[in-house]
Amino acid sequence: MQRFLQSDRRDRKTPYRKSLHLNSSTAGVEASTGTGAAASHAWLGDALPDVPLSKAQSRVVDVIARNPQLSSYSDIAEIAQRADVNNSTVVRAAQHLGYRGWPDLQRELRSRYLVMISTEDTLTEHGEHRSPLHDALNHDIENLRLTLDSNTADEAEAAIAAMAAAKSITVVGLGSFAGPASVMAHLGSTMGYPITLENRGAVHLASSVNALGPGDVLVVINMWRSMRQIIVTAEAAKQAGAKVIAISDMRRGRLAAVADHLLVVASEGISFFQSVTAANSLVYGLLAGMEAAHPERSRAAIRRTQQLWKDLDIYLD
């Protein structure tokens, strides 16, 4: 299904960067983690693997580690200048670290930086809007482009195949991220898939997944701050033999580690909250693939659903 995810993989300019304004609450955040090389890397978590680096690549990593805000928002040329390398070296360093290029690495860095600062500081980071509507739409266009660059058609097809073959599918999303989870569960069930939504968490989450095992699929939609109960649930489902599909804005971390299939989305918004636009679009692509995997069953289920709409007199027309 090559139409689902294709990209020219160009190195694009950083999305949504009004001006890189350093402020007392965010610019010095690296100093709050302590002193020394180990401390300067603390905000990165496992984003940068421990792999051998050339001298030039080491300078790139050092610039990234010591400058969270700069590395999360600056253009590639600024990183290259500070590391005394050319742009191509920054791209190769990102690829050597396991990313598809600088945009993919910077998306990961920005996701971790926004977790590190407070919700209020996120407002300061994003600054004032010229037009909230146009800024939000333009930024989501860039989020969609980054998401397109972050996933291959094969990765999407593998996730679709897992759901098409599943005995049951449970979709988990809490808070704002219950939105795309609800879309997947609702439209998936409309097509006749054995799919349920869990958007309550806590004891409800435990009850929803305690019977998952071989042949079942757990879809987890989690961005921004990692929710402990969701991560533990995914690990338990994996241990029980279920397949785990993760939709996340981080390529590394506990959720990524447990996922059989990982799909990465860009989720930064223009205010204090994350955007789920790219996650919703990715879900729509998965649903289209799920329909194509079982066209006759899907169409029969859709016909039954439409008849029920009429029988229940749901719509005015």
The answer to whether residues 205 and 297 belong to one domain is yes
Listed residues 75, 95, 128: the one ending a domain: 128
CB of 247 closer than 8 Å to CB of 261: no
Q: Left if phi > 0, otherwise alpha if psi is -120 to 50, otherwise beta: which for 36?
A: left
The answer to whether residues 165 and 290 belong to one domain is yes
Give domain status of residue 75, yes or no. Answer: yes
The answer to whether residues 123 and 157 belong to one domain is no
- CATH, residue 57: 1.10.10.10
Long-range CB contacts for residues 117-121, cutoff 8 Å, separation at least 24: 117/25, 117/26, 117/29, 118/25, 119/272, 120/272, 121/25, 121/26
Q: Where are the beta strands (DSSP E) in the chain?
A: 168-172, 195-198, 216-222, 243-248, 261-264
The answer to whether residues 176 and 301 belong to one domain is yes
The answer to whether residues 111 and 239 belong to one domain is no
Cα separation of 27 and 23, whole Å?
5
The answer to whether residues 66 and 194 belong to one domain is no
CB of 114 closer than 8 Å to CB of 121: no
DSSP 44-102: GTTSS------HHHHHHHHHHHH-HHHHHHS-HHHHHHHHTS-HHHHHHHHHHTTSSSH
The answer to whether residues 89 and 198 belong to one domain is no
Q: What's the confidence (pLDDT) of residue 126?
A: 81
Give domain status of residue 193, yes or no. Answer: yes
Which tens digit of pLDDT belongs to each residue from 127-175?
788 899 999 999 999 999 999 999 999 999 999 999 999 999 999 999 9
Which tens digit of pLDDT belongs to each residue from 19-73?
444 444 444 444 344 444 444 578 888 889 989 999 999 999 999 999 999 999 9
Give domain status of residue 291, yes or no. Answer: yes
User: Residue 110, class by beta-carbon neighbours within 10 Å (0-12 exposed, 13-18 middle, 19+ buried)?
Assistant: buried
Split into its structural domains, the chain has a count of: 2
Looking at the chain, the whole-number percentage of residues with pLDDT higher than 70 is 87
Cα separation of 280 and 183, whole Å?
8
Q: What's the confidence (pLDDT) of residue 29?
A: 47
The answer to whether residues 120 and 175 belong to one domain is no
Give domain status of residue 250, yes or no. Answer: yes
pTM: 0.80
User: Given the structure tokens 């929710």, which residue do they identify?
Assistant: 227
CB of 20 closer than 8 Å to CB of 175: no
The answer to whether residues 159 and 119 belong to one domain is no
The answer to whether residues 305 and 167 belong to one domain is yes
Listed residues 128, 162, 194: the one ending a domain: 128
Q: What's the confidence (pLDDT) of residue 118?
A: 85
Which tens digit of pLDDT belongs to each residue from 106-128?
999 998 998 888 888 887 778 78
Give domain status of residue 22, yes or no. Answer: no
Mean pLDDT, residues 1-29: 43
Report CA-CA distances (Å) from 280 to 91, 119, 214.
29, 23, 27
Q: In which domain, by residue range, is 297 found? A: 153-311
Helix (H/G/I), strand (E/B), else coil: 199: coil
Give domain status of residue 134, yes or no. Answer: no
Mean pLDDT, residues 224-246: 95
Give domain status of residue 24, yes or no. Answer: no
Average pLDDT, the chain: 87
Cα separation of 67 and 63, whole Å?
6
CB of 214 closer than 8 Å to CB of 174: no
The answer to whether residues 94 and 178 belong to one domain is no
The answer to whether residues 230 and 122 belong to one domain is no
- CATH, residue 216: 3.40.50.10490
